[in-house]
Amino acid sequence: MFEDKISQRLVPLPAYIFPLVELIYYFGLKLCLCFHNPLVDTICLHYVTPIRGFYEQNILVIFGILVLIFTTCSKGTIPLPKFIRFNIIQAILINIVISCVGQLYLLCPYQIRENYLLINLVLNPGTIGAIIIIFYACILVLLGRYPKIPIISEAARLQTQRGYSDS
């Protein structure tokens, strides 16, 4: 089914939508609003806000889908090539890291969360860095190479090796 290289490169790409949406949900509005640019504000209003609203309304369904995909790929119950399973697991692990950071951010007191210095020195560079990591992984997947992200790639490799049908 996934014998050709093109399908092996395209199948894992949709999995990287999950961490991107998670990033938009937690930090998208903060990033958009700090530019003070009418074009960015319009993009935020028309694109970021609806994605955030959809995620917020369907958060448990999306979580269930992620758990199902993760267990399927890590156990190897569906005979997928190792490259596909690795990249899907890596995308889900990136999603988990973003979710943990987002929850920690929400647990911070309001004065810390809305501190202008914290937002500009930590939050915005961290958000842009996470976006760069996601696009880096997508580009390498399209090139047919394994993305190497410290800690996350090793965890994805261990989960992939744990599977039953390594191919």
Contacts of 56 (CB under 8 A, 6+ apart): 25
Residue 2 covered by a domain: no
Asked if 9 and 142 touch (Cβ cutoff 8 Å), the reply is yes
Asked if 9 and 144 touch (Cβ cutoff 8 Å), the reply is yes
Structure tokens at 138: 């997508």
Handedness of CA 95, 99, 101, 105 (dihedral sign): positive
pLDDT of residue 163: 57
pLDDT of residue 164: 53
Q: Is the pTM of this model over 0.85?
A: yes
Asked if 99 and 22 touch (Cβ cutoff 8 Å), the reply is yes
Contacts of 27 (CB under 8 A, 6+ apart): 102, 105, 123, 126, 127
User: Could you tell me which of 132, 136, 143, 133 has the C-alpha nearest to residue 10?
Assistant: 143
Residue 4 covered by a domain: no
Residue 118 covered by a domain: yes
Residue 35 covered by a domain: yes
pLDDT of residue 166: 46
pLDDT of residue 112: 85
Domain count, the chain: 1
Residue 167 covered by a domain: no
pLDDT of residue 68: 94
Distance CA 35, CA 24 (A): 16
pLDDT of residue 1: 60
Per-residue pLDDT of the chain (167 residues; tens, 9 = 90+): 666 788 889 999 999 999 999 999 999 888 888 888 889 889 888 988 899 999 999 999 999 999 999 999 888 788 888 999 999 999 999 999 999 999 999 998 988 888 888 888 888 899 999 999 999 999 999 999 999 999 999 999 998 886 554 44
Burial 73-100 (b: 16+ CB within 10 A, else e): bbebeeebbbbbbbbbbbbbbbbbbbbe
pLDDT of residue 67: 94
Domain span at residue 54 reads 10-162
Structure tokens at 106: 């929400």
Residue 1 covered by a domain: no
pLDDT of residue 4: 74
